[in-house]
Structure 1
Amino acid sequence: MIQKTISPIDGSVYVERALADDAQVANALEKAVAAQKVWRKTSLEERAAICLKAVEYFLNNADEMGLELTWQMGRPVRYTANEIRKGFQERARYMISVAESALADVEVEQLPGFKRFIRRDPLGVVFVVAPWNYPYLTSVNSVIPAIMSGNAVILKHAQQTPLCAERYAAAFEYAGLPEGVFQFLHLSHQQVAQVIGDTRIDYVAFTGSVEGGHAVQKAINERFIVGGLELGGKDPAYVRADADLADAVENLVDGSFFNSGQSCCGIERIYVHQDIYEEFVSEFVKLTKTYTLGNPTNQETTLGPMVRTAAADFAQKQIDEAVAQGATPLIDTTLFSSHQKGTPYFAPQVLVNVNHSMSIMTEETFAPVVGIMPVSGDEEAIRLMNDSQYGLTASIWTADIDAALSIGEQVETGTWFMNRCDYLDPALAWTGVKNSGRGCTLSKIGYEALTRPKSFHLKINS
């Protein structure tokens, strides 16, 4: 069976790949198990050297890989190489740097005549299922620490970005990683479920939709293993009356529309104190109109097509429903000449007169669309931010750090930002609550899911 990647740029078939057959899947699993038994015995120094050399491959080929990524999923070429040069490199190097302390034996109080400690053993074979929207940023969260932990990895990338999986393989081959420690497979959804159900898989790291998360969880439930699930978001921002207005506008416009809004932690709803609401909205709209929607292979383009026409159609449906319920769109889409119905080219939109009876404020949109509501103060903002099935990130814009801390303790979210948004700090745990998933990647804590504790209780005979 052939898998085709349709480029959102022009609707052409950009990549064709044959899906793995049963024999290829079985062979990959067998190789992973065998390779991991040897790899786990290698020193952390050797693992780190290989992983750092793999990062070197990514950096040496960032421009070429960036153009590939643009054709695969539509992000403007002026940005795609930076996914590798900045976020990918930062996360990979950080997770490599903290591996020694994160994986060190856990010492306990000693008793006379005994030696006792807890060792962090690798799980075995880690199956990483990665999405198309940030294909390198999302996958590096699991791939590098899994290999640093002494696991073998099998990577399945989204149908939209198969070349990313192949680039990982090329990078690890360049770095001299032993054969079988890292492999990739092009698979159908049904095959993914079958692989998860195979006894040779010890952990699943999935990033994707809530629907996909349920499917992964269903497959996991047949076995005594766990999985990390990073799912959807409807991430809110709260702009207090004391905020630096220009800074808030600049960053929230970018947080709403970068990558055409196709980010799990992008800004999808904004609550602004009523005292500065009108000015905030005016400046927000003014900046939004400066975007250039068009062919993402052109350097001047700042907003590329969405990943597919169906995604643009879904966003337009949410907008139309909100307008029918009383919402007001503030962006005239004719200002964006490339905006065309029935294509992935979709202009940014800002909606006011919105409320939580509208799906645009409660259901994930995953598009360059944001709703903005006025609020009377902190209490109302907290209530509205928490009125969601999701809880990945949330942000506050204020000059008062004490207020930010107090409000952050009350907001149901995995990450709480002050005066920034849509960013992952690799030193901090990346996690979500509610339907945004479970588990944790990044930070030292991220290593815990990729290892199991093994206790050593040694009695020393005199």
Structure 2
Amino acid sequence: MSQTLKCISPIDGSVFAERETLSREDAFAAAERARAAQAAWAARPLQERIDLVMAGVAKVGEMNDEIVPELAHMMGRPVRFGGEFGGFNERASHMAEIAKEALADIEVGEDETFKRYIKRIPQGVVFVVAPWNYPYMTAINTVAPALIAGNTVVLKHATQTLLVGERMAEAFHAAGVPADVFQNVFLDHDTTSELIAAKAFDFVNFTGSVGGGQAMERAAAGTFTGVGTELGGKDPGYVMEDADIDAAVDTLIDGAMFNSGQCCCGIERIYVHESVYDAFLAKALEIVKGYKLGNPMDPETSIGPMANVRFAKEVREQIAEALQMGAVAQIETFAEDDGGAYLTPQILTNVTHDMRVMRDESFGPVVGIMKVSSDEEAIKLMNDSEFGLTASLWTSDVDRAQRIGDQIETGTVFMNRADYLDPGLCWTGCKNTGRGGGLSVIGYHNLTRPKSYHLKKVTG
């Protein structure tokens, strides 16, 4: 029996879109169509697949004037920021550019007796479960390389961004990608688990909560289906005494507050050397006090509502608990804060790791700032987390950043930047952030399997 999925707009709490989930039978039929279409798709020349995927990407770009306000309605990002097409196109383009080399046979050796090599073979049917916070960019991370590598793709998007998968499927189909090669589906949790448990997919890529990732792994248990996950984060920034303070403040505070703090690799805690702490804090407060909280459809709005009232509730609870434990709220409540999805961006000082706001994922516009006296203290605090996605180091000394980076339990080390996904680097995490790797050459390795050839020649 189908269910109705409803996207509740954070702008005013109204139902912005709704769709019926597929029945169990229709869901399995969709997966079977994807499997039936895969061999013919993989048999197409690599350049043809690349061209079709990039044509689909371009079609998404042509929809941008409609997509930007649609995103504002669905998840609250202000229209002034123009959507996600820049990053969407950058990631797909990079994966297209490196595809020939990344998917090339690995030549092991050939002589008059043997020819040996390793091929990269498509996994088959790739299931992509994408999140709402950057719904286009997170989806294309896997959709583009999966299709280019010769897989068929079934995409399930978050209810909060219900229309994104439809947009992508429409664009790719208009560009010539066959309907069964790239499908957007609406599924309930039980049907999703049944499909995975029944080996309907050959690889599952999930971006979302730790609990969601655990559900994916439980569904796949015993099937030997590969599962790649990017889950929670609590990304730290560390500002050293030799840092460019203006640049550090601008980047780290933007990394903490942009998209209302709803970024996978957003900055959630900042450690500042005691010698520059006061200067850093003063500049940070000036920036945040200058934000305009409001309706994301207003071009003057610089910070919109959180995507859902329940997300804002969790952030408010973390802040309230921290204040009860001695933290200091540096930002007075904005007039536009309605106690619901519209939430005052907050900087907390006098925080400790006894507080949830410094341990649990907040995924909202709040950041705690702590004073430290040494690299050793900062490293210990940065590693005091169950998550490990990115860490941002601010210093003029590359060697120092590398030494510190080697000691941080994280997937990516940034120096003098933050909150950016470089498609040339593997996007990966450790600890409860999950396992696997997207983009880069390694992204292609995860979306294919190695197949070895050991060919003995017949000689006279």
Report whether the alignment pairs 1:224 with 2:227.
no
Distance 1:141 1:196 in 2: 21
Q: What residue is the counterpart of 2:337 in the other structure?
A: 339
Q: What residue is the counterpart of 2:57 in the other structure?
A: 55
Q: What residue is the counterpart of 1:359 in the other structure?
A: 356
Distance 1:378 1:199 in 2: 48
Distance 1:259 1:186 in 2: 25
Counterpart amino acid of residue 215 in structure 1: A
Is the contact made by 2:109 and 2:115 (CA closer than 8 Å) also made in structure 1? no
Counterpart amino acid of residue 185 in structure 2: L
Distance 2:185 2:222 in 1: 22
Counterpart amino acid of residue 65 in structure 1: I
Cα distance 1:310–1:200, how it changes in 2: closer, same or farther (>3 A)? closer
- DSSP-derived class of the 1:54 partner: helix
Count of aligned positions: 457
1:132 shift after superposition? 0.4
Is the contact made by 2:294 and 2:301 (CA closer than 8 Å) also made in structure 1? yes
Report whether the alignment pairs 1:248 with 2:245.
no
Unaligned runs of 5+ in 1: none
1:357 shift after superposition? 0.7
Q: What is the correspondence of 1:278-357 to structure 2 with a 5 Å cutoff?
A: 278-333=278-333, 336-341=334-339, 343-357=340-354
Is the contact made by 1:95 and 1:144 (CA closer than 8 Å) also made in structure 2? yes
Distance 1:306 1:32 in 2: 35
Report whether the alignment pairs 1:74 with 2:94.
no
Report whether the alignment pairs 1:115 with 2:121.
no
- DSSP-derived class of the 2:43 partner: coil
- DSSP-derived class of the 1:160 partner: helix
Report whether the alignment pairs 1:40 with 2:42.
yes
Is the contact made by 2:199 and 2:225 (CA closer than 8 Å) also made in structure 1? no
Distance 1:37 1:363 in 2: 44
1:337 shift after superposition? 1.9
Report whether the alignment pairs 1:373 with 2:370.
yes
Is the contact made by 2:124 and 2:151 (CA closer than 8 Å) also made in structure 1? yes
Report the more deviating stretch, 102-111 or 156-165.
102-111
Report the more deviating stretch, 106-115 or 205-214.
106-115
Q: What residue is the counterpart of 2:31 in the other structure?
A: 29
1:431 shift after superposition? 0.1
Counterpart amino acid of residue 441 in structure 1: G
Q: What residue is the counterpart of 1:65 in the other structure?
A: 67
Report whether the alignment pairs 1:172 with 2:151.
no
Report the more deviating stretch, 169-178 or 253-262.
169-178
Q: What is the correspondence of 1:98-247 to structure 2 with a 5 Å cutoff?
A: 98-247=98-247
Is the contact made by 1:285 and 1:350 (CA closer than 8 Å) also made in structure 2? yes
- DSSP-derived class of the 2:419 partner: coil
- DSSP-derived class of the 1:265 partner: coil
Unaligned runs of 5+ in 2: none
Is the contact made by 2:28 and 2:200 (CA closer than 8 Å) also made in structure 1? no
Q: What residue is the counterpart of 2:14 in the other structure?
A: 12
TM-score normalised by L of structure 1: 0.98
1:44 shift after superposition? 0.6
1:316 shift after superposition? 0.8
Counterpart amino acid of residue 436 in structure 1: T
Report whether the alignment pairs 1:404 with 2:406.
no
Q: What residue is the counterpart of 2:430 in the other structure?
A: 433
Cα deviation per residue 1:122-179 (whole Å; 9 max; x = unaligned)?
0110000001001011111100000001000000000111210001111111110123
Distance 1:280 1:42 in 2: 55
Is the contact made by 1:70 and 1:80 (CA closer than 8 Å) also made in structure 2? no
1:222 shift after superposition? 3.2
Is the contact made by 1:69 and 1:80 (CA closer than 8 Å) also made in structure 2? no
1:198 shift after superposition? 2.3
Distance 2:285 2:153 in 1: 45
Is the contact made by 2:388 and 2:433 (CA closer than 8 Å) also made in structure 1? yes
Distance 1:194 1:182 in 2: 20
1:399 shift after superposition? 0.8
Distance 2:65 2:380 in 1: 44
- DSSP-derived class of the 1:331 partner: coil
Structure 1 runs of 4+ aligned residues shifted over 2 Å read 109-112
- Matched residues, percent identical? 53
Is the contact made by 1:35 and 1:179 (CA closer than 8 Å) also made in structure 2? no
1:199 shift after superposition? 2.0
Is the contact made by 1:132 and 1:157 (CA closer than 8 Å) also made in structure 2? yes
- DSSP-derived class of the 2:437 partner: coil
1:110 shift after superposition? 2.6
- DSSP-derived class of the 1:4 partner: strand
1:80 shift after superposition? 4.3
Over the aligned positions, Cα root-mean-square deviation in angstroms equals 0.9
